[in-house]
Amino acid sequence: MTDQPAASPLDASLSRDIARPVLPRRVAVIGLGVMGGPIARHLGHAGHDLTLYNRSPARVDRWLTANPDLAATIVNTPAAAAEAADVVITCVGNDDDIAEVVLGPQGVITTLRPGGLFIDHTSVSARIARQIAVEARDKEVLCVDAPMTGAQAGAEAGTLTLMCGGRADAIAAAAPVMGAYARRIVHVGKAGTGQATKMVNQICLAGITASLAEAFRLAQAEHLDLEKVFEAISGGAAQSWTMDNRWHSMAEDRFDFGFAIDWMRKDLGLALDEGRGLGLSFPVTALLDQLFADVQAMGGGRQDTSAILRRLPKRGGK
């Protein structure tokens, strides 16, 4: 579900697999939110035979209305979605959600055929990713944990970056399918390493966003021309995707878009838990998590992470 659009070229080790023409596959997409919905659309336009499941039927109806040119089979359970599929792709909310749709009594793993492919794009714990990989292995199912960065804009444009954990044969099988909606696909290691890499990404992103907000408040307090400040600093060492894409929206006090603070807090929680399990302490990340929690308490949980600016008082504490 983070973050910043990918602008880098394809990972060299996978570019051949992505570029190779892909025969239409029977692809089930589970979870049609701000990321899963566009992913399903790209897969449909790539010629794949779609089956769709979402816990909320209203979201399925919205997807069908928004994509009248695409045909899809609608089912009532994850198991039904996987039953006739070659590939199952999930993009849901958290550990409990992915456990239910994959490992539950009506989960994907109960019906996905041996030799089938399972791809999870949810940002979850490395632990649940490894557990799913073991269950998939026992069912002779190829399994990839592939959390994303690129945010909603990257999903809409089909330019996501995917950080993938799993066996090499699973990644090779998944890459041509994922190439319908991803610009860069990187195999980072064994099962669970995709999720761990996403935690690294989110720690970086949270820090960049918070420091940008503090710099922005200083520019305001000094009564600087915000456009001139952006022009001066965005071409140097301080430049970042976050600056390029959030400076102007912060100037407009506009936050009702982008990667929600609720989701950032979920991801930072995963990173903090992972660190504790490894005997590590992340004091800066813990502080950032608290600042985001303060914005949640102000009613900003569904706002973009740049709304952390609201936590920082303007000049004079007002």
Residues recognised as catalytic: 198
Name the nearest CA neighbour of 195 among 244, 133, 239, 251.
133
Instruction: Please provide residue 7's backbone torsions phi and psi, each rounded to the nearest 5 degrees.
Output: -120, 0
Rounded Cα gap, residues 104 and 120, in angstroms: 15
Name the nearest CA neighbour of 158 among 148, 168, 143, 167.
148
Name the nearest CA neighbour of 85 among 114, 127, 123, 45.
114
Q: Considering Cα of 62, then 63, then 69, then 72, what sign does the dihedral take?
A: negative
Three-state secondary-structure class, residue 230: helix
Q: Do 285 and 270 meet the contact criterion of CB atoms below 8 Å apart?
A: no
Pairing verdict, β 148-149 and 160-165: antiparallel
Q: Do 188 and 194 meet the contact criterion of CB atoms below 8 Å apart?
A: yes
Name the nearest CA neighbour of 185 among 162, 156, 159.
162
